[in-house]
Amino acid sequence: MLKVIIVAGARPNFIKVAPIIAAMRRRPKDFQPILIHTGQHYDAAMSDAFFRDLEMPEPDVDLGVGSASHAVQTAGIIQAFEPYVISERPDWVVVVGDVNSTVACALVCAKLDVKVAHVEAGLRSRDRTMPEEINRVLTDQIADLLLTPSSDADENLRAEGIPPERIRFVGNIMIDSLLANLERAKRSTARADLGLVNKDYAVLTLHRPSNVDEESALVRVIEALEEIARRLPIVFPAHPRTRKMIEELGLAERVENIKGLILADALGYLDFLQLLSGARLVLTDSGGIQEETTVLGIPCITLRKNTERPITIEMGTNKLAGAEPAKIVAAANEALDNPPDKAALRIPPLWDGRTADRILDALLQNPER
């Protein structure tokens, strides 16, 4: 029996942790899971809704760290997490993704000589201005077991000198949640609530500091939206960070005046999945949504200059449009004019809904340090 602490901190973490916990609960002879929520995301829309929608157990511990600067938040998680690792002495700690909670908890384990496994290891944007890129590089250097979603990730790790025995290609855990919940998401009322039943629409999400923290960057995105919204309605479930920045930068009136833009609060998992699965087009700066649209066969325009998920571009659903309004509008028009052939849909290897069990098998094999 392995005692495993599983760490979840922010919205995308909950989606990745849910299938791992569910799989451990199906194998109680082999696994004793302990779920620790760092509290990086804490409000009803960013956290509680995901626990409910993903049918996750209440966390065993909530560190309640909350929002702060990167240094204060990361340090707070390190300080609050360490005593639990010391008192529980788990066989493994599992961290997922690339958020501040991921690197903070991995560092605690490395210093205590407790084995740590990183799910979604090896992704690289090669853009060190992204806080997530720093978190990825550091976590992979100190983790004992690197569980990768795609073969490009294996290559990145080998190129950084990570010994091959620490790397295991297990597939994409986000897709376990996606496939497990598509049917349930059909029962959501999100599309009806937004007046979009039987309508063509686009979905927009935006929260990266590079797009929303500076007025000139946010204005460039708004200019593109003003054009695209002439062609079809755009639903925009806004991240709390983005809402705050729109207000602070004095852009609220301009955004509200875009005819065709439907501004909504951040949505729960099932509501968002329903909206996403019926969209003609997706505009996003999220990492996970680039992957979900690949499996759903929906054109995705990524509002960034780079991606740590190049396989989504290779599969043909995702296009990098950067931050220039003309380029974003041209990419959107091109995607709308040439809808994808769903029969020719390509899905990367091991994005099959069974990644959680492969992760559990890798933990059981228990490589020595």
Write down the least CB distance from residue 250 to ligand UD1, Å. 18
Binding string to ligand UD1 for residues 308 to 347, with x set by CB under 6 A, is what?
----------------------------------------
Which residue's CB is nearer to ligand UD1, number 95 or number 335?
Answer: 95
Taking residues 61 to 80 in sequence order and writing x for each that binds ligand UD1 by CB under 6 A, - otherwise, the string is ------x-------------
Segment 115 to 154, residues that bind ligand UD1, using CB under 6 A: 131-132
CB 72 within 8 A of CB 80: no
Per CB under 6 A, the segment of 4-12, 26-34, 112-120, 357-365 that binds ligand UD1 is 4-12
Give the shortest CB-258-to-ligand UD1 separation in angstroms: 23
With contact defined as beta carbons under 8 Å apart, do 59 and 36 qualify?
Answer: yes
Q: Which positions from 161 through 200 interact with ligand UD1, judged by CB under 6 A?
A: none
How many residues form the binding site for ligand UD1 (CB under 6 A)? 20
Task: Please state the closest distance from residue 291 (CB atom) to ligand UD1, in A.
Answer: 13
Per-residue interface string for the shown chain with ligand UD1, residues 11-40, x marking contact by CB under 6 A? xx---------------------------x
- Residues sharing a CB contact under 8 Å with residue 81, sequence separation 6 or more, in sequence order: 7, 36, 38, 63, 104, 105, 108
Sites for ligand UD1 among residues 204-243 (CB under 6 A): 207, 239-241
**Minimum Å distance from CB 241 to ligand UD1?**
4
- In the complex with ligand UD1, the residue whose CB is nearer, 149 or 297, is 149
Site for ligand UD1 in 78-117 (CB under 6 A): 98-100
Instruction: Look up 207 and say whether it is catalytic.
Output: yes
Q: How far is the CB of 368 from ligand UD1 (least distance, A)?
A: 31
Considering only 1, 26, 43, 111, the residue that binds ligand UD1 (CB under 6 A) is 43
Q: Which is nearer to ligand UD1, 99 or 279 (CB)?
A: 99
Cβ density class 77-114: b for 16+ within 10 Å, e for less = bbebbbebbeebebbbbbbbbbbbbbbbbbbbbbeeeb
Catalytic residue among 37, 41, 118, 207: 207
Q: For ligand UD1, give the closer residue by CB, 191 or 207.
A: 207
- CB-based contact 209:301 (threshold 8 Å): no
Active site residues: 207
Residues in contact with ligand UD1 by CB under 6 A are 10-12, 40-43, 46-47, 67, 98-100, 131-132, 207, 239-241, 244
